[in-house]
Amino acid sequence: MKALFVAGTGTDLGKTHVACALLRAAQARGLCVDAFKPVVSGFDPEAPETSDPARLAAAMGRPNAWAEISPRRYRAPLAPNLAARLEGHTLAMADLIADCRTWLDGRDTDFALVEGAGGVMSPMTDDATNLDLMATLALPVLLVAGSYLGTASHLLTALEVLRARGLKVVGIVVSESLDAPNLDQTVEMLRTFERQTPIVVAPRDPDWSAAELADLLL
C-alpha cells in the first residue's frame, strides 16, 4: 500500500481540495483508495456535509463515511487542543498516533492518505504539533502551500523543518489563493528556490483533475 501525509504550510490553504482531487485521480486509475483525518475542528454536527471529512468521503464515492474518516470532531474553529478542551476533552499525541497507526494497519487498499489539521507547526495537543505526529508516522509528505504574498517564506520554512526531522517531501502543491498575486509568477519564483521536489499547481477549480499530481505520486 502506498500512503502519504498531506500537510499544509498553514491553515485553509486547500489541503482538502488537493486531497480530494488526488483521491479522484487515483480512483480514475483503477486504484482502491482511503483517507483519514485524525482530528477536525470547526465541525458543525448539524451540517456534517460541509466538513472536510465529508468532502473526502464524497471524493471517494462514500458520502456517509465522514465519521470513520475523522473519529475526533470538535465544534470550535480553533486549534484541535483548544477546541477539544471546550468540550471537556484533552487530546494526547499518543492517542492520535495510535489512531493513525491502527487505521493504516487496517487498510486493505492501494492508496491511503492521512490529512493533517492546520499547518506543519500547528498545535495538535497541549505539548505537540502536527510535525510531531508526522515525524512519528514517518510517511512521505505531500506539502500544500498557498499562492498569497508571503507564501515563499512559509513554504521554504516548512520544507526546512520537515527535512530537519528526517521527513521526505515527495511533492509540493501550490494551491491558488483568491485575490493573491499572479499564480504563475508565484510558482516560477518558488521553483528558483526549491529544486529538490517537484511543484504542481492547483487552481481553485472543483473540476481540477490532479492528473499531473497523480502521475508524480502514484
Positions annotated as catalytic residues are: 37
Looking at 71-204, list the stretches that DSSP marks H as alpha helix, in order from N- to C-terminal side: 80-86, 93-105, 130-137, 151-164, 183-193
How many beta carbons lie within 10 A of that of residue 76, not counting itself?
Answer: 15
Residue type, position 7, single letter: A
Confirm if 160 and 30 have CB atoms less than 8 A apart: no
Confirm if 84 and 72 have CB atoms less than 8 A apart: yes
Tell the residue number behind the cell numbers 511533492, with chain if given: 171
Contacts of 106 (CB under 8 A, 6+ apart): none
Confirm if 136 and 161 have CB atoms less than 8 A apart: no
